[in-house]
């Protein structure tokens, strides 16, 4: 697991019950401001005479607008189409990417500069918080830095060590409307990271021209860009959730009325198809290519020489985590297989969950030797569980309905553990890894541990002769990245989902345009004649986003990631008898659906990125 908690970033929330952040509160809609483009400078480094004298009349970099609780930049969409909000929960995601670079490469540059070989003057385009510059300044004590961004969100100089602050300058400008405010051939290193999803495709030519202009002969440019991915959930996972949300269960017991007006999504490709389409519309209607990993090499190679372009790399989606423990009901004990087994506790349980002797299967942290099922005073319940594992037998009719649900979940969980043990054993003996899923290429990772790789290289025939040749492979620290624990993957999925939520208001703009045109295709997502108003559509949109967050929160299971790193589960009140019954039934249905739907294929990657390195030779 990557640890990232720099001292100069203060986190305002530590809400363990809502680790994806709450749904933004609705606020009064405010009109977008219309101001001219601006460039300003802050910091102690002076730079060129032109840059010192270039002042801003409106200081737009300090202006933000708030719509429906989201903090957005104040530029008009046609002048700055970057769609993400600047809420703290989204901006702080940059900490993860910076920590990943330091952890995997041990350096802030893929070229591995040290203090002696480090460049003398660096420009970081789209610097965001400025974390890359601060990390580089600590490693390169003789280097001066300029961080350029269109908004003022950088770490203040006042909280930095004076020796570091004296060599850093924060500059604010809209690079889509202004030339870079620097002399020709001023920088010998240019860093560009996570900028592509704010650049229209027809602007890359002029942007690369400007970058090349300010680079010295022999200077280096390094880019790290990733694609816009909308993580989705399989039907086998969401269908049981929706059935219970509508208050419908196969046995008719229990009701959950959290979402009494759940729309019918059975005809959709997946539960959140509408949001995915809106997410894709954000990029197409802003003329932004959502897959810069495929598009950028062509532009990049036209402006720079000696290009190194390794194949696209991707983080695999993590496996589905075990269910979160219910307080007073289950203890989840990590097994050597990386799975977790359910051990119901005897205390604080309704009587209906116990056998005649008042017991459930043992809650011991480990199973006694020679007894893979665990010791239980209940012969009836243990026999039922053992039979379910071996032959899929039904629990004894003499058991209560709640006992049967508990027995089903225990049986399914432990049967899954046995099946995964066989799979992992075969994988370990084979000494190789195959991605087995859709897409091209194969996984590259350590199979000796029987673990899936946390990252894979996806290489198509067109990329097999990459411009960097054999030297390009050394840029990606595959071994270090593969050494990450599997539960680190949950953080990457979390980042991708949070990126989707960060463009929520841009997605709403796309939906509102369809509502105003009375687009009949919205009926596919439950719109009626009464819903073609801004207020009604906003309500349906908020519900769809909240549902997506809720579903993905369960999929990401950050509690599992935290527990694996030594954190305690947050305290919760024990469930009632009805809540326990429904929860156990829901878990059984999800596990059975997963078993029936399992094809052995991997899910699509949750993140996909590309590294580009080039030189200006003349």
- Model confidence at 407, pLDDT cuts 50, 70, 90, reads low
The answer to whether 522 and 252 are in contact (CB under 8 A) is no
Stretch among 92-101, 264-273, 393-402, 568-577 having the lowest mean pLDDT: 393-402
Q: What are phi and psi of 524, to 5 degrees?
A: -60, -25
Q: How far is CA 300 from the centre of its chain?
A: 27
- Model confidence at 587, pLDDT cuts 50, 70, 90, reads confident
Q: What are phi and psi of 224, to 5 degrees?
A: -135, 110
Separation of alpha carbons 432 and 229, rounded Å: 28
- Model confidence at 71, pLDDT cuts 50, 70, 90, reads very high
Separation of alpha carbons 154 and 137, rounded Å: 15
- Model confidence at 588, pLDDT cuts 50, 70, 90, reads confident
CATH number for 39-226 (one of 3.40.640.10, 3.40.50.150, 3.90.1150.10, 3.40.630.30): it is 3.40.50.150
Range with top average pLDDT, 94-103, 162-171, 249-258, 370-379: 162-171
Assign 595 to helix, strand or coil: helix
What's the confidence (pLDDT) of residue 224?
Answer: 93
Q: pLDDT tens for residues 460-476?
A: 434 433 444 454 556 66
What's the confidence (pLDDT) of residue 337?
Answer: 31
Contacts of residue 320, defined as CB under 8 A and 6 or more positions apart, other chains included, come to: 237, 555, 557, 594
Helix (H) or strand (E) holding 175: none
Q: pLDDT tens for residues 110-132?
A: 888 888 889 999 999 999 999 99
What's the confidence (pLDDT) of residue 499?
Answer: 96
What's the confidence (pLDDT) of residue 357?
Answer: 54
Q: What are phi and psi of 42, to 5 degrees?
A: -135, 160
For the chain, how many helices (H) and strands (E)? Answer: 17, 14
The fraction of the chain above a pLDDT of 70, given in percent, is 62
DSSP label of 277: H
What's the confidence (pLDDT) of residue 557?
Answer: 86
The answer on pLDDT for 445 being more than 50 is no
What's the confidence (pLDDT) of residue 208?
Answer: 97
The answer on pLDDT for 1 being more than 50 is no
- Model confidence at 134, pLDDT cuts 50, 70, 90, reads very high
DSSP label of 474: G
Q: pLDDT tens for residues 589-610?
A: 888 888 888 877 777 889 999 9
Q: How far is CA 143 from the centre of its chain?
A: 33
Map out the domains of the chain as residue ranges.
39-226, 235-280+315-452+478-606
Q: pLDDT tens for residues 266-300?
A: 889 999 999 999 999 999 999 999 999 999 999 99
The answer on pLDDT for 398 being more than 60 is no
Mean pLDDT of the chain, nearest integer: 72
Contacts of residue 343, defined as CB under 8 A and 6 or more positions apart, other chains included, come to: 330, 331, 332, 333, 361, 362, 363, 364, 365, 374
Pick from 191, 207, 189, 10: nearest CA to 98 = 191
Predicted model pTM: 0.76
């Amino acid at each position: 697991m990557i640890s990232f908690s720099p001292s100069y970033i203060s986190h305002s929330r530590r809400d363990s019950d809502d680790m994806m952040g709450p749904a933004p509160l609705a606020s009064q809609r405010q009109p977008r401001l219309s101001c001219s483009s601006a460039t300003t400078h802050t910091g102690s480094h002076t730079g060129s005479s032109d840059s010192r004298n270039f002042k801003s009349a409106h200081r737009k970099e300090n202006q933000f607008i708030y719509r429906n609780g989201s903090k957005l930049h104040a530029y008009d969409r046609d002048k700055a189409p970057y769609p993400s909000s600047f809420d703290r929960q989204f901006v702080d995601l940059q900490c993860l990417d910076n920590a990943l670079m330091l952890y995997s490469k041990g350096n802030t540059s893929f070229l591995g500069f040290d203090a002696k070989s480090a460049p003398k003057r660096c420009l970081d385009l789209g610097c965001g918080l400025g974390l890359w510059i601060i990390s580089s300044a600590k490693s390169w004590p003789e280097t001066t830095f300029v961080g350029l961004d269109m908004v003022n969100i950088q770490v203040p100089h006042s909280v930095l060590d004076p020796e570091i602050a004296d060599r850093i300058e924060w500059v604010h400008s809209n690079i889509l409307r202004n030339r870079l405010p620097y002399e020709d051939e001023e920088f010998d290193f240019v860093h560009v990271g996570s900028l592509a999803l704010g650049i229209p495709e027809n602007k890359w030519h002029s942007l690369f021209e400007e970058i090349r202009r300010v680079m010295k002969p022999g200077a280096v440019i390094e880019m790290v860009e990733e694609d816009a991915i909308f993580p989705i959930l399989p039907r086998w996972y969401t269908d049981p959730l929706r059935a219970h949300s509508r208050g419908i269960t196969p046995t008719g017991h229990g009701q959950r009325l959290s979402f009494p007006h759940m729309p019918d999504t059975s005809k959709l490709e997946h539960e959140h198809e509408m949001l995915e389409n809106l997410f894709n519309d954000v990029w197409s209607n802003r003329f932004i290519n959502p897959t810069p990993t495929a598009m950028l090499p062509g532009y990049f190679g036209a402006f720079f020489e000696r290009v190194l372009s390794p194949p696209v790399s991707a983080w695999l989606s993590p496996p589905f985590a075990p269910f979160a423990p219910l307080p007073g009901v289950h203890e989840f004990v990590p097994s050597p297989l990386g799975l977790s087994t359910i051990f119901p506790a005897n205390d604080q349980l309704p009587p209906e969950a116990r056998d005649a002797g008042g017991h459930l299967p043992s809650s011991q942290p480990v199973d006694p030797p020679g007894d893979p099922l665990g010791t239980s005073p209940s012969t009836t319940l243990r026999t039922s569980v053992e039979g379910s594992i071996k032959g899929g037998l039904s629990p004894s009719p003499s058991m209560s309905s709640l006992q049967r649900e508990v027995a089903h979940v225990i049986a399914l969980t432990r049967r899954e553990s046995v099946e995964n043990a066989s799979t992992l054993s075969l994988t370990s003996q084979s000494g190789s890894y195959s991605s087995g899923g859709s897409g091209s290429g194969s996984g590259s990772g350590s199979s000796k541990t029987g673990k899936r790789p946390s990252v894979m290289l996806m290489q198509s025939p067109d990329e097999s002769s990459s411009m960097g040749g054999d030297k390009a492979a050394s840029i990606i620290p595959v071994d270090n990245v593969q050494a990450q624990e599997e539960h680190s993957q949950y953080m990457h999925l979390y980042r991708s989902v949070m990126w989707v939520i960060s463009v929520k208001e841009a997605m709403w703009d796309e939906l509102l345009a369809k509502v105003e045109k009375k687009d009949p295709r919205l009926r596919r997502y439950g719109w009626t004649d009464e819903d073609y108003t801004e207020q009604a559509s906003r309500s349906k949109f908020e519900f769809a986003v909240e549902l997506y967050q809720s579903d993905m929160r369960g999929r990401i299971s950050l509690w599992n990631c935290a527990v694996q790193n030594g954190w305690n589960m947050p305290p919760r009140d024990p469930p009632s008898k009805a809540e326990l019954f429904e929860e156990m039934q829901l878990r059984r249905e999800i596990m059975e659906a997963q078993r029936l739907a399992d094809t052995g294929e991997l899910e699509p990657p949750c993140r996909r990125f590309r590294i580009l390195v080039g030189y200006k030779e003349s």
